[in-house]
Amino acid sequence: MKLSSKARYGLYVAVELAKRYEQSEPVSVQTLAQATGVTEKYLEQIIALMKKQNVVVSLRGAGGGYRLRQTPEQTTVGQVLRAVENDLQIVDCLHGECSGKCNCVMFNLWDKLYENINSYLDTISLKNLLEGL
């Protein structure tokens, strides 16, 4: 399984927001773009997905920007990646879109792999990442 650039950049954004969490000020897209090296336009798309899945909140107005919805201790890598990476869907048949080529043995394999990946990613918080795991 290969994660998209959207997933990697989403995690970079989340880590940057975690670094700045103790500051009560929201972080602008411009600041996030400078910190991550990703264009503002692409970050806006990624952040919109993170906002839709309640990973981040936006604050409007002068000095507005984004913050993590929960603390870095409470926000997991799994939450961030699922928000931007189509629920970390590894194969279509796990979500009822089977092309008829899957058999029960394969379904169980993919399902167990999906569960294990998500379980592992949910054990790692953004704080863990900042501390080097």
Residue 16: is its pLDDT beyond 60? yes
On whether the pTM is more than 0.75, the answer is yes
**Across 19-47, average pLDDT:** 94
**Across 28-57, average pLDDT:** 96
- CA-based nearest residue to 29, from 20, 19, 39, 21: 39
* Cα gap 93→107, rounded to integer Å: 7
Residue 89's pLDDT is what? 79
Residue 101's pLDDT is what? 60
**Structural contact between residues 64 and 26, judged by C-beta atoms closer than 8 angstroms:** yes
* Cα gap 122→25, rounded to integer Å: 27
Q: Where are the alpha helices (DSSP H) in 1-133?
A: 5-19, 29-36, 40-52, 77-84, 104-121, 126-130
For the ranges 12-16, 60-64, 78-82, 87-91, the lowest mean pLDDT is seen at: 87-91
Residue-wise pLDDT for 77-130, tens only, equals 999 999 999 878 777 777 666 666 655 667 788 889 999 999 999 999 999 999
Residue 27: is its pLDDT beyond 90? yes
Q: Which CATH architecture has domain 5-130?
A: Orthogonal Bundle (1.10)
Cβ-based neighbours of 120, under 8 Å, separated by 6 or more: 78
**Domain chopping of the chain, boundaries:** 5-130
Residue 7: is its pLDDT beyond 90? yes
Share of the chain above pLDDT 70, in %: 91
Query: CB neighbours (10 Å) of residue 69?
Result: 16
Angle ∠(53,33,52) on CA atoms, nearest 5: 10
